[in-house]
Structure 1
């Protein structure tokens, strides 16, 4: 058996679902534009530069989930999926996923974006296994806090290894493993797999891929 891991934002989709979700809530007037838009852009630039404080960001990103009922959030999420996410699915994404599925590889999306936002995206792409940052819940509603380890940088490796352990698997269970990502933030996990692949990479990842003879592909 082989393992195929996929980053989501700016990899399988040609944009960042975390950033887009906050912008969507601003458009819906669920967040104040003056207070939130500049901060959202600032966090996104920090992410791209590799300087993001994940806990500071999650405090910003998850608190809005606690301000609205789960029912209202799900209505907004359905609209968000149709209007914002579906047009961002990169042209080569489904073909790449299909190739791994036809080979019976274990396919997992692993993303720093929270599972409330990303679960329907994984479903739309036909991937049943998702490792994402988990928002804390109480009595079916969100608390605005994170639950467990964020799936970010080294946390992606830790969360993946926890997932494998729960499913009675280890790295040694796989003859080959792929990880497809665009981001320098994913270097810890890219360095763990047998086949790291840079997808439409940021400049730092592109330089690293070139110096290590990793494949560089585009899904766009």
Structure 2
């Protein structure tokens, strides 16, 4: 048995857990990975058509059990037989082109606020772990918890390494991180748009529902949780600001 004593409450770390799809970014991140995989000949036209259909449904009605049922097959079909290095390179290439323009400025700013306060910020998502880690790295976050796929000598075998990080599994993965850090869950935070993440949201003391689906919105109102509505215009405005700033920097450089 360890002789280590719990840290005083003021010195214990605080963790903020962020869902990715429709919380940190608009739409399903795995769709953009699938689209790039099609461009590279990794998956077929039929596969990309399915990715497109799931993206449309996800944006229209949010997550449901059908998304959960197909998440495993999509992730495994995407990476099976390919190397870890290839998937990382793919994710790095599409980050600027596909992920960054879809980021919600409000939730990105929240991650930065947590970091500025000395909190750890972890992404927690059903998206493949290596892809989630690229997003976390590019945003300067602490880490990412995603669905892991088994690899042998750096090549994916087509079998899961553990469970799809979704629902109760997402909460379990986050709880393990908090336990390893000796963080008090009552002081921790969670952000999500989906009713499937009620287990994650319920386990922390501070929860914010972002663009919630109907079921989560009803639950949040019943529990008096904070609701953060986002608008498509916020992404457009943020992109215009970035372009304006880029033009200003270019003009000043002259």
TM range (shorter): 0.7 to 0.9
Once the two structures are overlaid, the 10-residue window that deviates more, 210-219 or 82-91, is 210-219
2:81 equivalent in structure 1: 67
Contact 1:178 1:196 in 2 (8 A): yes
Q: TM-score, normalization: structure 2?
A: 0.75
Match of 1:184 among 195, 204, 212: 195
Structure 1: segments with no counterpart, 5+ residues: none
Identify the residue that residue 115 of structure 1 maps to in structure 2: 129
Larger Rg: 2
SS in 1 for 2:21: coil
Two-structure CA RMSD over aligned residues (Å): 2.4
1:169 maps to 2:190: no
Distance 1:147 1:61 in 2: 12
For structure 1, which segment, 43-52 or 185-194, has the greater mean C-alpha deviation from structure 2 after superposition? 43-52
Note if 1:96 corresponds to 2:110. Answer: yes
2:29 corresponds to 1:10:
no
Query: What are the ranges of 5 or more consecutive residues in structure 2 without an aligned counterpart?
Result: 1-11, 235-254
Higher relative contact order (CA 8 A, sep 6+): 1
Find the partner of 1:37 among 25, 48, 52: 48
Deviation, 1:23, is 2.5
Normalising by structure 1, report the TM-score.
Answer: 0.86
Question: Is residue 87 from structure 1 mapped to residue 98 from structure 2 by the alignment?
Answer: no
Answer whether contact 1:149 1:159 (CA < 8 A) is retained.
no
* Number of equivalenced pairs: 216
